[in-house]
Structure 1
Amino acid sequence: MDLAGKKFTIATDTTFAPFEFRKNGQLVGIDMDLLNAIAKEENFQVEIQSLGFQAAVSAVTSGQADGVIAGMSITDERKQTFDFSDPYFDSGVQMAVAKNSDVKGYEDLKGKTVVAKGGSEGESEAKKLSEKYGFTVKALDQSTSLIESVKNGSAAAVFDDYPVLKYGIAQGNGLKVVTAKIPGGQYGFAVAKGKNADLLAAFNNGLARMKADGSYAKTLETYLGKDTSATADGGAKAQPGFVQLFVDSMPALGEGLWNTLRITMMAFIIAMVLGLIFGFMKISTSRTLRGIASVYVAVFRGTPVLVWAFLFYFGLPQLTGVTGNVFWAGTATLALNSGAYLTEIVRGGLQAVDPGQMEAARSLGLGWGKSMQRVVVPQAVKISTPAIINQFVITLKDSSLLLTIGFAELLYQAQQIYAANYRTTEMLIIVGIMYFVVITLLTWVANIVDKKVNK
């Protein structure tokens, strides 16, 4: 089938070097290079959705993406939900420990904890071995989290795909491999079962051509070196200093900061409208209006933000058939959550005004509406402003949770960077400083406005 001019949305992982990671702001890696080369060869276009692994899989099953390429092992269980391409990489699992660790093999793990990526072949192999060698397996979501757990001593070892460990060691992640490769699964490109058969066929055709003309081997060599065996770790690269890391990271972090501020402002404006509407409903004499407002507050205060982020981005499109938008899904999540808290802030501010103020205004001939507008509300605003400023800060920080659905906010951009260079601690320090400075400045500005408006 001719795919000329067609554009497909392809979901991938956020942090799975050397298969997908960001370099100089661009998403690169074995998976990305293969996909882009095949798309060019087969004359179709791709739009990449960079998500976590589980979110990438959900994007395909919910119809948000046409396919997924994320170092995804081909298994019989997954074949019930997905149709896979021909294998494009033969993987396998190895165990790595910290450089200064005394662990030399599986037998040294008794009574200890190891980490592996949730839902991965590494987790599966680790669980099999844990029964024999008596260790505990803890599942995490990202490869960088696995490495940091071993480096900080909370885990004795990590089980992961050998090319991921090999690449990380070459980048200076502080680990060493201590076991031979466990022959494992093969990676495949996947689409939802029974769908996008033309895309799958085009991928297979392009992959066969790349293998035949040698470009496939060159792609692997680019990221794994000439020796792609599991035992060839290579020498670790020299890492730039902290200042240089900061300078190099600023373009991506600046973009992330702008996205954070943009979605926070949009969500908070909507939340304020919701807070005012439901806040007045909470003090209404109508039991129906009070009940509606109470249900809204109870639902959104009583459920986690992440639940709504996934529901709005993955669930609603699946139910309605409408293609989701990550910005508006994130905005709705933050606005509805923050609006519930602002509802109670507005209600509390209104009820904190002495009832005698309303009585005095009414005795002077003002109607209920004018009394609220000119007497009660101005005092309620003065009372509520500190809490409103605090809720704005909370909303800004909550925006970091949207990285789970692939929104490129500040923490998401930092995650992309440390996934490639393994400088997790330094990057989190930089991001923490940026959040602190921005929140301090915004709070300072808000307090100045508060003092001028509420003299």
Structure 2
Amino acid sequence: MNLDFSQIVPYTPFMLKGIWATLEFVIFSIIIGLVLGTLLALCKITKVSFLKWIANAYTSIFRGTPLILQLMIIYYAIPQLTGYDIPIFLSAVLTFGLNSAAYVSEIIRAGIMAVDKGQMEAAEALGVPYRPMMLNIILPQAIKNILPALLNEFITLTKESAIVSTIGYLDLMRRAQIVGADIYRNFEPLLLAGAIYWIMVFILTKIGQAIERRLRQGD
């Protein structure tokens, strides 16, 4: 086998910087996905048919089209219509945040529907307004039930973040490609990138499991 990992040693610091570059936009995307996904989930269970239709249409569009297509539309197509060039980082955050929101909304909706309806009826009977009831009674219970699914969505988001390399964002994957082109060897930098992705996902999985155990102990 024609392998020589010594050649990528000088490039290791350059590639390691891709970890923060990756996590930076993933964290912002997760925040957008959580906030917007929660709002969409609430719209899906509301009695207002117009809001329900908008939320369902949004979810259908973002779940029914490829993520890379959404990224290309935001980075390349929208500037064509608006005349404004969207920065690479902002394009990545918007694409992944909006896409994640569609999946998060379904996860949260399922969690809310799984909460005993008697609790909602009891809160309504006591005169608790809808917003405090959702924030203080229903959502906390739903989050506990759907935490594993949410963590899995965030882990998937971290892995799929490599797609942003297609628009030139200097994430871990893009840096591995640059190193491969510079030394005319692709296997070694790509293998290193794969190992780093695996370590990140492994750490996130362990953190998620620890949080899940903590919440269960608090029951």
TM-score of the superposed pair, with normalisation by structure 1: 0.46
Mapping 1:53-72, distance limit 5 Å: none
SS of the equivalent of 2:105 reads: helix
CA contact (8 A) 2:37 2:103 kept: yes
Matched, 1:415 2:188: no
CA contact (8 A) 1:246 1:430 kept: no
Distance across 1 between alignment mates of 2:11 and 2:50: 53
CA contact (8 A) 1:305 1:337 kept: yes
Aligned to 1:288: 50
What's the CA shift for 1:371? 2.8
Aligned to 1:347: 109
Mapping 1:140-219, distance limit 5 Å: none
Within the candidate set 384, 387, 397, 2:159 is matched to 397
Distance across 1 between alignment mates of 2:54 and 2:103: 15
Distance across 1 between alignment mates of 2:213 and 2:108: 19
Aligned to 1:117: none
Q: Greater share of strand residues, 1 or 2?
A: 1
What's the CA shift for 1:428? 2.0
Distance across 1 between alignment mates of 2:7 and 2:29: 32
Paired AA for residue 86 in structure 2: G
What's the CA shift for 1:423? 2.6
What's the CA shift for 1:303? 0.7
Distance across 1 between alignment mates of 2:80 and 2:136: 47
Matched, 1:378 2:160: no
CA contact (8 A) 1:271 1:336 kept: yes
Matched, 1:356 2:118: yes
Aligned to 1:4: none
Aligned to 1:332: 94
What's the CA shift for 1:364? 4.1
Paired AA for residue 326 in structure 1: I
Within the candidate set 201, 209, 212, 1:447 is matched to 209
Aligned to 2:31: 269
Distance across 2 between alignment mates of 1:336 and 1:437: 26
Partner deviation per Cα, 1:426-451 (whole Å, 9 max, x = no partner): 22221111111111112222332333
Largest Rg, 1 or 2: 1
Mapping 1:44-83, distance limit 5 Å: none
CA contact (8 A) 2:7 2:183 kept: no
The percent identity for this pair of structures is 35
Distance across 1 between alignment mates of 2:89 and 2:150: 23
Distance across 2 between alignment mates of 1:406 and 1:312: 14
What's the CA shift for 1:378? 1.3
Aligned to 1:184: none
Paired AA for residue 202 in structure 2: T
**Aligned-pair Cα RMSD in Å:** 1.9
What's the CA shift for 1:250? 1.4
Matched, 1:366 2:128: yes
SS of the equivalent of 1:399 reads: helix
Q: Greater share of helix residues, 1 or 2?
A: 2
Matched, 1:320 2:85: no
Number of equivalences? 217
CA contact (8 A) 1:334 1:398 kept: no
What's the CA shift for 1:317? 1.2
Paired AA for residue 411 in structure 1: M
SS of the equivalent of 1:366 reads: coil
What's the CA shift for 1:453? 4.2
Distance across 2 between alignment mates of 1:420 and 1:373: 52
Distance across 2 between alignment mates of 1:366 and 1:267: 33
Aligned to 1:84: none
* Structure 1: runs of 5+ lacking an equivalent: 1-150, 152-173, 175-238
Distance across 1 between alignment mates of 2:190 and 2:60: 34
